[in-house]
A and B are shown apart, each in its own frame.
Chain A
Amino acid sequence: MEFLNHFGGVFEPLALMLLIGGTVGGLILGATPGLSPTMAVALLIPFTFHLQPVHGLILLGAAYTSTVAGGAVSAILLKIPGAPANIATSLDGHEMAKQGHGARALHLSFLSSGVGGLIGVLLLIFLTPLLSQWALAFGPSHLFWLAIVGVTVIGSLDSNSFVKGLLSGCIGLWLSMIGYDDIQGAQRFIFHDALSGGINIIPALIGLFAIPQVIDMFGKGRFITEIETVKVPKQQFMNSLRELRGNVRALTIGTTFGSIIGLIPGVGGQIAGLVAYDQTRKFSPDRDKFGTGHPEGLIAAESANNAMVGPSLVPLLTLSIPGSPTAAVLLGGLLIHGIFPGTDLFDNHPQVAWTFINSMLIGQILMVAFGIYTAQWAARIALVPNSLMASAVLVLALFGSYSIQQSMGDVYIMLALGVGMFFLDRFGFSAAPLVLGLILGPIAEANFIQGTQIAAAQDGPWVYFLTGPLNMLLIFFAVSSIAFSFWSNLMASKSKKDGLAEEVTK
């Protein structure tokens, strides 16, 4: 309960100001396409040079929490996921916004972010020693299998056809191999100079999700008759709260998966939202409504990606190992003040450590408050005529992709993937499984290579990859996930046939 003694530090005038500034700034940065939480936090590091360590960390912690939630804003309103964490948010969230329920979607998204985030930070406070052991339990072979479990999710993700989902995933896996191989330096599929760095995930996200939509909107905007007019009803905050209370299942699944997966260094943050979304869908009686603007999917995704924030800092704070790129930037923010995460942090600077963690707790609440406050206006974006909207999204997409590393190459990749996705979309393929393939490919590959190298020095690959309880558990998950998708697909087509047969006999 030591953390209770350090709440005072959070409410000092300067600290509170930084907390509010970091939260509001983080929401804006997070909502800006192309600015991932990692870049947003890196941009803030120079400001912390002039601050006390504790204040610097409050600013960074607040920014980290709120950029992850802010990414949901552009995912919902513009269908541009700010970071891989927000992919699942855009699936149902954007549909809701298109139907005029943007404010409701934003309310639900911020509320579930807040709930997930609070639980995540509480886990960080109470279970840190236990969690750090869990974070270390994952060696190369386990991470490889975990990536494979992720791949099996692909088949059932946001796609009505199991086969087309898997095919989209395969395209993603192939795209992930483009460029220099990270370990050996071999060149693969580099037909153009822009591809030598491989496909960067942020421009890919922008291209795959935003561009097909832009083309669609331009197409519709040409004819007056096809211009849709949506009503944007006022959303009462209490109604949103009530709706959230009615979705405890999605919230629980999201938070659980988010915090468990978010803990695993190198993998967690990117796939927590998608895995939680998929699991919620599998457990839901309204399975077919997912992807059409169903709040359950949104709630699962957002609670998962914020629940991950607290646990993702466990390896950093206890072992000084940054578990994610953002954590690596935070590590830099600590080091410039001469504070080494690990036992040093909690033994010699408890004031710094606990004030930082407490500020994330308060930051979650502030974030919900500011998010809800602006949601009603932000949602009116759905009233903007299609043609204007399409142009605006296109401009944001171009700037966003260019700004990541000031490279036109990324812009070309973004556009090419976007146009490609537009046509794939027409044939019933979808972007989410493709992106998941793109994310999981490198993880599976790097850990497989590393695993085989370690195995060669030990008992060989068969023993290394196929024995041990954790390996077996993950393999079991992978197999049962495929079996479930296959089975439910079979049942679905059977019931469709039965339905047809009945109609014929009638």
Chain B
Amino acid sequence: MKKLAKGFVIAATAVATTWGVSALAGDFPDRPVGVAVSYGAGGATDFQARIVTMVAGNKDMLGQPVYIVNKPGAGGRVGWNWFATKAPKDGYTMSAYNVPHFIAQSIKGGVKYSTDSFEPIANWGADPAVVLVGKDSKFNTIKDLVEFAKANPGKLTLSGAGLFVGHHIAALQLQQSTGTKMAYIPTKGGGAAAMKAVIAGNVLAGINNLSDGYRAAKAGNVKILAVADLERNKEFLPDVPTLKESGYDVDNSSVNFRGLMVPKGTPQSAIDTLAAKVPAMFKHARVAKRMKAGGSPIKVMTRAEVQEMWKARQKALAGLLKGL
């Protein structure tokens, strides 16, 4: 018993000393770091956030484990509103961002954040939107689908994960570039609900994430007609044409970028440390393996690159959403 007590004392002293030392040396971070996810547990963003942060505790990475807190509601608005106004600005609280979602919401108004409210740390993934139809659909190419939309204005129902998410942006661009009018149906419950609507035949077509679409196509439930990106996805869908090469002027504005950010006002030293360490964590071989297994495309971008990307998106989306 005495031995045990002695052991505890030694352990406690050791812990206290390391804490003391690290505090003196300004070793950030010296306790676990939280990541707020503005969507529910089990969604694509939540799932990927858990994977890309799984090696954070390694000594050569952040050196501290990362835990996930879900703050879902109202298409991400609840979580990001909280993050912009109430989250502690000490570097120990990060949030996952979804571009174009949060930028498009801030352009439309009614929320307490914009790109100026946050400081990006790094980007981990880029998930392009794909146009897909049920496996028994009469549409076999994107041309078939556009022809139908031209002949039947407002009759082509098109499901997507919500308003102002990448899917919605892609639907807007598709309509603009083809001069058609389609019925975009936002679903509640994210990409999974939108996918269900396509597979069950509740809607004629859908727009969804490449990762989820690839899975559904592999299971034989849907046909993927086109990708809304600048280039074909060589890794997962080498045979599916982009909208651009099919002759429709749709760029990569709808590609869903996911990454980490901190609120504005976080100490610069903390931002610098995170921005230096986090990209390496995203590139870790075990992270890459798990992400690839799940069909989630990786795109690691540094803080500077993300800042550029946010600016470009802000401009493109402001133009697209004008007059909506």
Q: Is A338 an interface residue (CB 8 A)?
A: yes
Check: B154 CB closer than 8 A to any chain A CB. Answer: yes
Shortest CB–CB separation between residue B255 and chain A, in angstroms? Answer: 20
- In the complex, B41 has a CB within 8 A of chain A: yes
Per the 8 Å Cβ criterion, residues 68-82 of B in contact with A are 69-75, 77-78, 81-82
CA distance A322 to B43 in the complex (A): 10
Q: What 1/0 flags go to A431-464 for Cβ under 8 Å of B?
A: 0000000000010001000100110111000000
* Tally of chain A residues near chain B (CB < 8 A): 56
With A45-B50, A342-B221, A454-B202 in contact, do A407 and B185 touch (Cβ < 8 Å)? no
What residues on A are CB-neighbors of B74 within 8 Å? 179-182, 185, 196-198
In the complex, B203 has a CB within 8 A of chain A: yes
Contact A446 B188 (CB under 8 A): yes
Q: Does B110 contact A (CB under 8 A)?
A: yes
Residues of the B chain whose Cβ atoms lie less than 8 Å from the Cβ of A183: 75, 162-163, 186, 188
Contact A343 B219 (CB under 8 A): yes
Q: Are A450 and B199 in contact (CB under 8 A)?
A: no
How far, in whole Å, are A266 and B197 apart by their CA atoms in the complex?
12
* Chain B residues, Cβ within 8 Å of A329: 41-42
User: B164-198, CB under 8 A of A: which get 1 and which 0?
Assistant: 00000000000000000001011111001101110
Residues B163 and A332 in contact, CB atoms below 8 Å apart? no
Instruction: Please state if A340 and B75 are interface contacts (CB–CB under 8 Å).
Output: no
CB-defined contacts of A180 to chain B, threshold 8 Å: 73-75, 77-78
Q: Which among A266, A454, A458 has the greatest number of chain B C-beta atoms within 10 A?
A: A454
On chain B, the residues within 8 Å of A315 by CB distance are 196
Residue A331 at the chain B interface, CB threshold 8 Å? yes
Is A366 on the interface with B (CB-CB < 8 A)?
Answer: no
Minimum CB–CB distance from B84 to chain A (whole Å) comes to 12
Nearest A residue to B112 via CB reads A196
Contacts of B54 in A (CB 8 A): 46, 49
- Pairwise interchain contact A454-B69, C-beta atoms closer than 8 A: no
Selected from B70, B154, B189, the residue in CB contact (under 8 A) with A405 is B70
Which bucket holds chain B's interface residue count?
A: 35 or more
Contact B163 A185 (CB under 8 A): yes
Min CB distance A86 to B, Å, is 19
Selected from B77, B155, B218, the residue in CB contact (under 8 A) with A458 is B155
A39-B41, A196-B78 known; A319-B219 Cβ under 8 A: yes
Instruction: Give, as a whole number of angstroms, the nearest-CB distance from B182 to chain A.
Output: 8
Q: By the criterion CB–CB under 8 Å, are B183 and A456 in contact?
A: yes
Confirm or deny: A128 has a beta carbon within 8 angstroms of a beta carbon on chain B: no
B200 shortest CB reach to chain A, Å: 4
In the complex, 25 of the A-B residue pairs with CB atoms within 8 angstroms, ordered by the A residue number, are: A49-B290, A136-B201, A179-B73, A179-B74, A185-B110, A196-B73, A197-B71, A197-B73, A197-B78, A319-B196, A319-B199, A319-B221, A320-B215, A320-B219, A320-B221, A321-B195, A336-B293, A338-B292, A340-B219, A342-B215, A342-B220, A342-B221, A343-B220, A407-B71, A454-B202
Q: A139-B197, A196-B74, A454-B183 are in contact. List 11 more A-B contacts (CB 8 A).
A: A179-B74, A182-B73, A183-B188, A197-B71, A319-B199, A319-B221, A321-B196, A340-B218, A340-B219, A450-B188, A457-B154
By a beta-carbon cutoff of 8 Å, the part of chain B in contact with chain A is 40-43, 46-47, 50-51, 54, 69-75, 77-78, 81-82, 105, 108, 110, 154-157, 162-163, 183, 185-189, 192-193, 195-197, 199-203, 215-216, 218-221, 290, 292-295
The 9 closest A-B CB pairs, nearest first, are A328-B42, A342-B219, A180-B74, A338-B293, A457-B183, A335-B294, A197-B78, A197-B73, A446-B188
